[in-house]
A and B are shown apart, each in its own frame.
Chain A
Amino acid sequence: MATVPEEFRFGNFLASIIWVILIVIVLLTLVILPLTFIVLFYVPLPPVNGEVLTPYLFLTMIVDPTRTLPIVKYLIHTTPFKVIVFPGFVFAAIIAAATIFVERKFLAKMQLRVGPLYAGVWGVGEGILQLAADGLKVISKEILIPSGADKPIFWAAPIAFVATAAAVVALIPVAPGWVVSNTDVGLIAVFAILGFFPLIALLFSWASNSKYPFIGGLRALHQMIAFEIPFILSALSVVILAGSLNLTHIATSQHPFWFILFLPISAFVFFISSLAELERVPFDLPEAESEIVAGWLTETSGMIYGLIQLGSYLKVYALAALFVILFLGGWSGPQIFPHQLGPPDAIPLVKVLTLQGLYNAVTVNAIFWFLVKTIVIIMLMLLPRGISPRIRIDILLHTGWYKLIVLAFVNMFVALALIYAGVLGPGGSLSIH
């Protein structure tokens, strides 16, 4: 049956438009406007700077430049901001994304290539949007699940991987007071969370119901357990010197001498163990392409792969930051930022533009030095990929169980000797506490 379109009449058209306008006006006056006013004027908000706020006042504060800064200052000190934006997930994810891009460019320059080139903005920035393109591709891909896979675990493992990596990030302080969770057992908590990764790898490889992932999962398990012990032992000598497990306290207790000066062997062991923990070259055995296809990632596809990549780069940031905190004095560094960005008695607009009241020279300086050190360590972690082949599993286990553990013990005795000789520690001749 063919449908005949209704004959168009201008009068009907006009009438329908008028009806729509009428309905909108009625709805506005009777429902939307009263609701808006109720919300704006009567819903209470938590007090900021001792002022009881309503949404209306809040909006006026945002619009009024002189009153914006206190509210921003209030917002960035709330827990949700710390968890989500800084120094939590978004901050770490941006660093992880930058790491992926820098790694590709850095490796390309080392190998006489150009690296990502075309996905840029108006011809500048040489592939700076490559990561966004890759992300879009990964999101739009179909997720294939092998037949016989254990579906709940197969879905849960990648999410657990990212969540666990982000949980490590939550324990890392980036500046005095800028940490999501400032706990007194910070270092133990970090190692406890890192202990989940071999479990996730093994679960995922088992859930994939495939042979190559299974071999890869077992390799990941062997590798991470073999390197867990030198990893913890090398951090233990730092704890001996600092006398605390709190990461903030460890960072501040390295004033004026960084622990890497007293514990170079521990720093070396820690660095090697973190490479193994991260499954990076030369310890990329669980993903050894020419041997076992892609190791425990063989059956990943689409966003599952994307999530695991994101998680592993978050881990790169977390472990590099941990290295900085344990051995490189955290955020300590010469004060290079001015105490005020503008004159204190300026007009309000200039005050807003120079972030007066919000800008804290010490914090900004701390974040700057922390970032500089972390980036240097991340670059050092990327370097072996250009110059080193993959190690074999028996050599890897031998290195982990015999050599690194012994080295870590050696430096632990050095640390104890420094304490007993009265050089470092409480009342030591080199410590200013």
Chain B
Amino acid sequence: MADLEDRISESQKMGMQIVKESDDDRLMTLSVGPQHPGSGHFRFIVKLDGDYIVHCDPDPGYVHRGEEKMTEYRNFIQNIPHLERPVIHDSTNITYSYSLAVEELTGIEVPRRGQFIRAIASELNRQVYTLYWLAIYGIFLGHSTMFMWPTGDRELFIDLLEALTGARVTHAFNIPGGVRNDVPDGFKDRCLRQITYYEKRLKEYEDIFYNNPLVRQRTEGVGILTKEDAIRLGVTGSVLRASGVPYDIRKAEPYDVYNEIDFKVQYMKTADSFARAYVPFLDMRESCHILRQLLDKMPEAGEVRAKLQANPRGPPGEAYRRVESGRGALGYYIISDGTPKPYRVKISVGSFRNMLALPHLLVGAKMGDMPVIYWALNYWPVEADR
């Protein structure tokens, strides 16, 4: 009994409102998802009192694929293609931290040029992901132009990544020890041209979407996640930065070449849905500066990957490395028992942590705010389910 009371008080602390049985006849229970156009592969059960949401119960797990278990049956190299499946729009970043962790386990040194190419691919892929996210955010607000423009501009980045890696979406580009192949001829110029064009487009996005009074009306002051709550709930990435915490893994624990790059951590203090929608946009803009510096500083020639043994393995041990993905900190905790296969892999993703803030924010909001709050959390259901 004490256990139940504890759970109730805990839920109330988390912002969930406990609905009494006797209230149920005047509440409407809605199952939002997984067929709902505004939910993704995800369901949350909301209870409505009039137009207000009084209860929210997230129910992830529709696309659980057992990625963590699957890694135990494959060796370190074989794991790469399937590990990027949970978030194919950000596939370079999800294999990035895996490669870093495996390198730490096996003691492989990545050549300097390889490190730069990794970072470039990672930044390009972050743009691809964020554009896709922004497109869906636009259509969730009913703004169809904001759906089409980012989806179109995303193609240009996909073309760049295709030239770089050979695949449009599922690149399998990062491997322990570096990257799979060198950049093609003329890649640097093409990339710089694309960034110049893209920065112009970002201005247009701001004009048509972020400066639109109706968008501001709908997002500002909606779903406020205070700094304390954000830290307590353990959100990460753009959601954390929108709550006024300037925390970016690229700055906090610089990996590969990020300590040589000069960039600012983008954050806002308003902590509402607008801030959560705007911080990824600021990140995209900052990412352009990062890309210019990376292309500038990249060594002209050199190895892009270390020489590996046939089945890379290291001494028994454990490693935890994380990178800043499009959705926040993306970490891999790998235990190795000395064989070529990992003993246990735990993927810690930003989506799942951000999803935990959903009940906290939705309770008390209006039904019309639901997509605004939900998708601003930068949540990717498939990644959360792994």
CB within 8 Å: A-B pair count: 86
By the criterion CB–CB under 8 Å, are A288 and B148 in contact? Answer: no
Residue of B28, B138, B143, B218 touching A392 (CB-CB under 8 A): B218
Residue of B51, B141, B149, B370 touching A389 (CB-CB under 8 A): B141
By the criterion CB–CB under 8 Å, are A110 and B366 in contact? Answer: no
User: Closest approach, in angstroms, between the C-beta of A116 and any C-beta of chain B?
Assistant: 15
By the criterion CB–CB under 8 Å, are B37 and A293 in contact? Answer: yes
Tell me which residues across on chain A come within 8 A of B142, comparing CB atoms.
Answer: 281-282, 284, 288-290, 388-390
Tell me which residues across on chain B come within 8 A of A324, comparing CB atoms.
Answer: none
User: Closest approach, in angstroms, between the C-beta of B281 and any C-beta of chain A?
Assistant: 15
Residue of B208, B217, B366 touching A393 (CB-CB under 8 A): B366
For the residues of B in contact with A, the DSSP-based class is helix
Residue of B141, B149, B217 touching A395 (CB-CB under 8 A): B217
Within 8 Å of chain B (Cβ to Cβ): is A236? no
Interface residues on B, range: 20 to 34
By the criterion CB–CB under 8 Å, are A290 and B371 in contact? Answer: yes
By the criterion CB–CB under 8 Å, are B214 and A389 in contact? Answer: yes
Q: Mark A287-325, 1 if CB is under 8 A from B, else 0.
A: 011111100000000000000000000000000000000
By the criterion CB–CB under 8 Å, are A389 and B218 in contact? Answer: yes
User: Closest approach, in angstroms, between the C-beta of A210 and any C-beta of chain B?
Assistant: 11
User: Closest approach, in angstroms, between the C-beta of A107 and any C-beta of chain B?
Assistant: 7
By the criterion CB–CB under 8 Å, are A388 and B214 in contact? Answer: yes
Tell me which residues across on chain B come within 8 A of A211, comparing CB atoms.
Answer: 28, 30
Tell me which residues across on chain A come within 8 A of B146, comparing CB atoms.
Answer: 389
Report how far A1 CA is from B363 CA in the complex, Å: 75
Within 8 Å of chain A (Cβ to Cβ): is B152? yes
Within 8 Å of chain A (Cβ to Cβ): is B145? yes
Closest to A290 in B: B38
By the criterion CB–CB under 8 Å, are A393 and B371 in contact? Answer: no
User: Closest approach, in angstroms, between the C-beta of A235 and any C-beta of chain B?
Assistant: 26
Tell me which residues across on chain B come within 8 A of A255, comparing CB atoms.
Answer: none
Tell me which residues across on chain B come within 8 A of A391, comparing CB atoms.
Answer: 214, 217-218
Q: Mark B354-386, 1 if CB is under 8 A from A, else 0.
A: 000000000000111111000000000000000
Q: Mark B102-116, 1 if CB is under 8 A from A, else 0.
A: 000000000000000
Tell me which residues across on chain A come within 8 A of B369, comparing CB atoms.
Answer: 392
What are 28 contact pairs spanning A and B, CB under 8 A?
Answer: A107-B144, A110-B145, A111-B144, A111-B147, A111-B148, A112-B148, A112-B149, A112-B152, A113-B148, A113-B152, A212-B30, A215-B367, A282-B142, A288-B142, A290-B37, A290-B38, A290-B371, A292-B367, A385-B144, A386-B144, A389-B138, A389-B141, A389-B143, A389-B212, A390-B141, A390-B368, A392-B369, A394-B51
| New A-B pairs, 10, CB < 8 Å, besides A288-B142, A289-B142, A390-B214 | A111-B149, A290-B37, A291-B367, A386-B145, A387-B208, A389-B142, A391-B217, A393-B368, A394-B51, A395-B218
B residues neighboring A (CB under 8 Å): 28, 30, 36-38, 51, 138-149, 152, 208-209, 212, 214-215, 217-218, 366-371
Closest 10 CB pairs of A and B: A390-B142, A290-B38, A111-B148, A389-B143, A389-B141, A290-B371, A290-B140, A392-B368, A389-B142, A111-B145
